[in-house]
Amino acid sequence: MQKTPDALRAHCAPRVAAFDQFLRKTQQSWASSLQTLESGTQWQVEHRPLAHHDSVIYHIQDGHFLEKAGINYSFVTGESLPAPATQTNWAHLANQPFLAMGLSTILHPKNPFVPTAHCNLRYFQTLCDQPTWWFAGVMDLTPFYGFDADCAHWHQTCFRACSEVGIDRDTYDGFKKACDQYYYLPHRKEHRGIGGLWIEHYHQAPFSDCKNLIESVGKQFMTAYLPIAQRRQSTPYSDAHREFQLFRRNRYVEFNLLYDRGTKFGLSMGSRSESILISMPPQVSWPYDWQPVPGSAEARLHDVYLQPRDWLS
């Protein structure tokens, strides 16, 4: 008989259950932190327990600060991992029974001067006597208008998430470079945002060290984002600023639909489409062959801020 999510939590080692509990607490913590920027609009919470998929979804739309946002917790089990969910190095895991848990947030603020932000914390393992396991942690920032202070703060906090659990500068640089490479749109020949951290299939250290790193990413995400949001949320903006925001959002949509592995995994699992596509912005535009005025703030976004660089120096 297929075990329920609660039974599988009990079956797994306590160390896995501890990470599951961390994800649940972090979901509540992120929602509470972001609520401080809202005035009146509250998070809506949905709990959808199914036989093979337990999920808790926090979502908000048309808020004072957030035009649309979601914070999704999920605990998924299956008797056979779909082949599309495995990458080349993990093709041998196809069709194996598995467990996966994760917490993902995507924040689309209303003010064009506040960046879009994303964070994803995950754990995966096969369900066998000698399981294959790995952790993953991602945080990246997508500004529409660039500010040196915001970019430096974001990347300094990303580095702190690593250094506070003993990750050295060279390893951090690898995570930062991987993020720059992942969030790249080949058909546009441009980066989606300013990057951050991309820690994927992380199992190269003892279990507790891997877990501590991903938990550190989760703890530092709001430390990285809230000061930027607080600094920019009251900035006056014009219709032109708003139009540029909607234009740049099309890059977000294109990346998530064409390249994002998380989106493909969720859809391949037959998960609820609304939960998977909650990452999409509520409004977006595709003006034909739009070009910024040379030297403008809009041009500087592409020419300066979307070019990978060392923000720690």
Question: Would you give the distance in Å from CA 313 to the centre of its chain?
Answer: 25
Q: Which among 59, 118, 153, 155 is annotated as catalytic?
A: 118
Alpha-carbon gap, residue 246 to 209, rounded angstroms: 40
Amino acid at 172: Y
Q: DSSP string spanning 221-233?
A: HHHHHHHHHHHHT
Q: Provide the 3-class DSSP secondary structure of residue 136.
A: strand
Pairing assessment for the beta strands 53-61 and 133-142 based on DSSP bridges? unpaired
Is residue 118 flagged as an active site residue?
yes
Alpha-carbon gap, residue 121 to 89, rounded angstroms: 20
Packing angle, helices 207-232 and 148-163, rounded to 10: 160
Cα separations (Å) of 43 from 7, 74, 183, 197, 229? 29, 17, 28, 27, 18
Beta bridge partners of 116: 142
Catalytic residues: 118
